[in-house]
Amino acid sequence: MTAVRVERHGRVLVITMDRPQARNAMDRAMAYDIAAALDLLDVDDGLTVGVLTGAGGTFSSGMDLKAFLATGERPEVEGRGLAGLTLTPPAKPLVAAVEGWAVAGGCELALACDLVVAAEDAQFGLPEVKRGLIAGSGGLLRMARRVPPGIAMEHALTGDPLSAVEAHRWGLVNRLTPPGGALSGALALASSVAANGPLAVRTSKALVAGAVDSTGDGAWERQNALLAVVLASQDAQEGAAAFVEKRPPVWTGR
């Protein structure tokens, strides 16, 4: 059974991560299902904009650490990044509808979206440092241009969460909704986008993204060289094991 649901709402494609029992943690199968849905968004002329959300009151808790610990599996799509999104976002706009937690890889997915609608009680975060890892799917690169540098640095180094209200204050979140209303709010925003000329929308996205993108000029290459060292470390294994076993990690710095 697929862990991703895809539904059409006129010219809007809603992509729902559907592993609520695992807080929508991403395994490899889910990553490829999301990537396939994003491909559909881009190739279907009847679609103008997508919405990415999570089932069960949670956006996504990120990478499935149990799978990572057991086999080293990461929810990456070759050449396209996390869930086929973070390295190669779709040409068409994508709106994140965030309820509950968008942390680790889940936060990186939200950051890779063009617009973010979040419930007032939602939480964003890059807690990878707490697990001996780094947010290596664009989270550190994108957070630094979505919020002020000092705020980005604080949350990157502490791994502490950022509330939706604060995220809205700093500009990471476009619109806030009451709890339970993120998808409705995202659909309303997406419908406003979908009412416009599809080619103009797609071209406008490309121009705005190109004007503000700070992930180019070798940033990904520099990040990936450092990420490889971290992923191969003893601390990475220890952080994942401690999380799965619900105990404090014992760091060695190796």
The residues that are catalytic are: 108, 128
Burial 57-69 (b: 16+ CB within 10 A, else e): bbbbbbbbbebbb
CA-CA-CA-CA torsion sign (143, 96, 84, 133): positive
DSSP letters spanning 17-28: E--GGGTT-B-H
**Which distant-in-sequence residues (6+ apart) come within 8 Å of 162 by Cβ?**
123, 124, 125, 147, 151, 155, 172
Whether 190 and 49 have beta carbons less than 8 Å apart is answered as: yes
Rounded to whole angstroms, the Cα distance separating 210 from 110 reads 18
Between the alpha carbon of residue 169 and those of residues 3, 16, 46, 231, the distances in Å are 33, 26, 35, 33
Residue 250 burial by Cβ neighbours in a 10 Å radius (0-12, 13-18, 19+): exposed
Rounded to whole angstroms, the Cα distance separating 63 from 46 reads 32
